[in-house]
Amino acid sequence: MNYLPPSLQKKLLERSNGQALRSIGKPIKGVDFSSNDYLGFTTSETIYKRASRLLNDKRIEVNGASGSRLLTGNHGLYQETEAFIAQVHKAEAALLFNSGYDANLGFLGCVPQRGDVILYDELSHASIRDGIAISHAKAYKFRHNSISDLERLIDLHKKEGTEVFVVTEAVFSMDGDCPDLVAMADMCQRSSALLIVDEAHAVGVIGNGLGSVQEYALEIAVFARIVTFGKALGCHGAAVLGSTILTDYLINFARSFIYTTALPPHSVATVQAAYEALASQSTEGKNSAIAQLQSNIILFRNLVEKKGLSGCFMPSESAIHSCLLPGNKKVKAAADTLQKAGFDVRPILSPTVPSGKERLRFCIHSFNSKEEMEEVLNLLATFAV
């Protein structure tokens, strides 16, 4: 049937008129300044071979999980991987989800209850917002990274019998900046609020690569962490880290865990192999991919300053560096210029970001060379300042 209701056609037209129509284009060839593959793990032969060996050793020769974890979809490998992830992250327990999106949806959809309150950063990722939308709890956003606004809201909403959940990201996916997690955890502890940290863009990047909560030794202070595997770990899936009783609860009530086919075993083997690679990074010292990524991040920042571009870049110490070029048309044209010159840099348009905050989003990787960073910023400087 070749029909779309007129109201939906109108929405598409509005997107198109606003230069904001999304489409799945051809893959862009060019120096990678846009993927989330911060450490190059996606193409790691070591991880690929190790995952194959894990499957061979366990004689797992299947193409799919065959069902939900609660029915036929569980394999010994899953619990082994969860135990390993929990140990690496110094958590009591880990529970695998099919993606970070599913983890946020499942967690936020079932943990905060009617009568509870969720306080979330105004720049929270869509998966956090969608999880909150499913929840029966009341939700209020606090100003981006503002501890004082968060404190005001906690004071306003904390009442006898009401649980207050605070949700933030260790590294914000569009701005690349970080909250003061130590201050936030301290405030949550003082006011008995429960802190949830999405570590999607912090794992593999911050500290020794295990995320911000571990970098600041806040494992005991946070209620739950969400770690995702599709970014620096270069594979697919996610886990909620927390207490055993919390994961027991999720197994019983998180709908995106219960009512879906489990990850295929080869995905889980890849997650385990990627975690082994991540955990072994600390023994590789300066040659580790994490150390190379961190030195590239510093180099990129220095080059931005040297080339007089600091005014348009948002402050960031993570792998995400956003150069504000307001207006969908303008930022699309800028990305096009960089792509034609051989750099894969993507525009982030409104409504993904607020109107007026459209930007080029540079993702820095362990494998980007100094020359590549110099060249892309030289070109950017010809039209961005």
Site residues (vs ligand PLP, CB under 6 A): 99-101, 104, 125, 127, 169, 173, 198, 200-201, 228, 230, 238
Q: CA 350 to CA 19: how far, in whole Å?
A: 9
Which residue, 228 or 296, is less far from ligand PLP as judged by CB?
228
Which residue, 104 or 318, is less far from ligand PLP as judged by CB?
104
How many residues would you count in the chain? Answer: 385
Four-residue CA torsion sign, 348, 350, 353, 358: positive
Six-digit token string for 35: 């993927």
User: Hey, how many other C-beta atoms are within 10 angstroms of the C-beta on 348?
Assistant: 19
Instruction: Please report how close the Cβ of residue 160 comes to ligand PLP at its closest, in angstroms.
Output: 33
Q: CA 93 to CA 108: how far, in whole Å?
A: 18
Tally the C-alpha atoms within 13 A of residue 266's C-alpha that lie toward its C-beta: 8
Six-digit token string for 348: 């982030």
DSSP 3-state assignment of 30?
A: coil
Which residue, 104 or 288, is less far from ligand PLP as judged by CB?
104
Q: By beta-carbon distance, which residue lies closest to ligand PLP? A: 100
Instruction: Please report how close the Cβ of residue 103 comes to ligand PLP at its closest, in angstroms.
Output: 7
Instruction: Please report how close the Cβ of residue 333 comes to ligand PLP at its closest, in angstroms.
Output: 25
Q: CA 219 to CA 124: how far, in whole Å?
A: 21
Instruction: Please report how close the Cβ of residue 317 comes to ligand PLP at its closest, in angstroms.
Output: 17
Which residue, 202 or 335, is less far from ligand PLP as judged by CB?
202
Instruction: Please report how close the Cβ of residue 55 comes to ligand PLP at its closest, in angstroms.
Output: 22
Which residue, 99 or 146, is less far from ligand PLP as judged by CB?
99
The residue type at 323: C
Which residue, 75 or 236, is less far from ligand PLP as judged by CB?
236
| Distance, CA of 323 to chain centre | 19
Which residue, 205 or 238, is less far from ligand PLP as judged by CB?
238
Instruction: Please report how close the Cβ of residue 190 comes to ligand PLP at its closest, in angstroms.
Output: 26
Spatial neighbors of 57 by CB under 8 A, at least 6 apart, are: none
Instruction: Please report how close the Cβ of residue 61 comes to ligand PLP at its closest, in angstroms.
Output: 27
Q: CA-based angle 300:303:309, to the nearest 5?
A: 105
